[in-house]
Structure 1
C-alpha cells in the first residue's frame, strides 16, 4: 500500500521465539546447540526481511523453566541480538503461554498487523497446566490467528503437546534429532516461514481480524549423516 508522498505502509509482523530452558535441556548439549542455531540464523533472517516490503519484522524471545520470563522485547530485526540462555529447573510451558497471551492482546498489538509467528522449541513434558495456558492464548484474536510452529528437540519431547500448540491438521511438529537438523529447521523457520507470513494470500480489511490466509510451505526433509542423536 502506498501513502501520499510515496511511502510504503508496512504492517507489524511479530516473530516470537518460545524457548524451553528446563534442566533436561542441559543433556547432550541441547541448550548450547539451540543458542548457536538461533545466533547463526539471525543474518539469514535479516536478509530475508529486507525483501518483505509489506512487513516491519519485530523479533522477541520468551523463555520458560521454573516460571517464564521475557528475555528480549519486540526488537526490529536489524537490531536483534540473541541472548544465550542456560538450562535449569522445571518446564512451565503453561506460564509461558499466559505471558504470550498478554503481549498478543489488543493493545499492545494492533489489529492492522500481520499474523504473528510463534515458534515453540521444547525437549520435554510440561510441568504446569499447559491446557489452561493454551486456552488463554487462543482466547486472544492474534493468539488464535498466529502461525504456530513447534520444534521437538530430541525424541523425548511430548509430541502431543506440540501438536496441540500448533492446532492445525496441515502442520506437524518438526523433530530435530541432532544439532545439525535443529540448525536447519531454525533457519527454515527464520526465513521461509517469515517470508510466507509477510505475504498473506488476502489482506485484512476494515481494521478487522479475518482468517490469516497464510500458506506455509512444507518443511524440507532434513537428512543428516550425524551419528549423535538426541
Structure 2
C-alpha cells in the first residue's frame, strides 16, 4: 500500500450499479438474453478487477418496471457476486430507479474517498414516470456528477433521447443492442470498459468534491456490427 496525498490508493471502492429495465416489453427473448449476458460478463469483470488492484469492485443491481427495487441491495465484491435472473412485468418507472441510485451517491453511504462509481442503464422502451426528476436527484450529488455512465438501448423502441440525457456528455452515445449478439457484446463492453475508466484516479483527488464535475469522455464506445440474429 502506497501513501499518497489524500490517502492511500489501495482498495478504494468502485461502486458499479446496474439499472435494468424489466418492464413487460422485455418479456421473452430480451429478458433471457439480458440475464445470460450479465451472467457471462461477471468473469470478465473479475479479470478487470484483478488487473486494477487499487480498485475494490463492488456490484449492485436495481430493476425498474411498475416499481423500482433493489435486486442486489448490498454492495458485493465482484469475486463473490452471483447473478440472480430478473423477470419482466409492468411499466417503466425509470425516475423511481434514478432516485434509488441518488440516495446511494450521498456521503454517507458512499465513503469520502473512493474511485468514480459506475451507473450502467439498460432499457428497451420509454419511461412512464418523471424520469427527469430522478436524473436531477443524481446530478444534485457530487458522486452522481462524477460517475462514469453507460447506456444500452435494446431494440428499435428504446428511447435513445432519454438515454443520451442520462449520459450527460455530448461526446458519448448509447450503445445500440438490436439483437442477442449485440446485447451480449454491449453488456460485455460496458462491464469492462466502464470499470477500467472508473478505476483511474482523478487528477486532484478522489473525493466527491474533487476533480471536474463534468469529466471528459472516459471511454470510446464501440460500434457494434450487424449479425444474422433476429432484430428486435
Scaled by the length of structure 1, the TM-score of the pair is 0.92
Determine if the alignment matches structure 1 residue 32 to structure 2 residue 32: yes
Determine if the alignment matches structure 1 residue 107 to structure 2 residue 108: yes
Q: Matches of 1:94 and 1:206 in 2, distance apart?
A: 26
Q: Matches of 2:9 and 2:67 in 1, distance apart?
A: 41
What CA deviation, in whole Å up to 9, does each residue of 1:51-103 have, x standing for no partner? 10211110110000011011112110100111100001010000000111011
How do residues 26-175 of structure 1 correspond to structure 2 at under 5 angstroms? 26-27=27-28, 29-72=29-72, 73-175=74-176
Q: Matches of 1:43 and 1:158 in 2, distance apart?
A: 30
Q: Matches of 2:207 and 2:86 in 1, distance apart?
A: 41
- Name the counterpart of 2:20: 19
Runs (4+) of structure 1 exceeding 3 A deviation are 205-208, 212-215
Distance change >3 Å, CA 229–CA 104, structure 1 → 2: same
Q: CA RMSD in A?
A: 1.9
Any conservation in 2 of the 1:196–1:215 contact (CA below 8 Å)? Answer: no
Any conservation in 2 of the 1:111–1:209 contact (CA below 8 Å)? Answer: no
Any conservation in 1 of the 2:180–2:229 contact (CA below 8 Å)? Answer: no
Q: Give the secondary-structure state (helix, strand or coil) at the position aligned to 2:27.
A: helix
Cα deviation, residue 201, structure 1: 5.4
Q: Matches of 2:151 and 2:200 in 1, distance apart?
A: 21
Structure 1: 5+ residue stretches without partners: none
Structure 2: 5+ residue stretches without partners: none
Q: Give the secondary-structure state (helix, strand or coil) at the position aligned to 1:75.
A: strand
Q: Matches of 1:11 and 1:150 in 2, distance apart?
A: 24
Cα deviation, residue 190, structure 1: 1.1
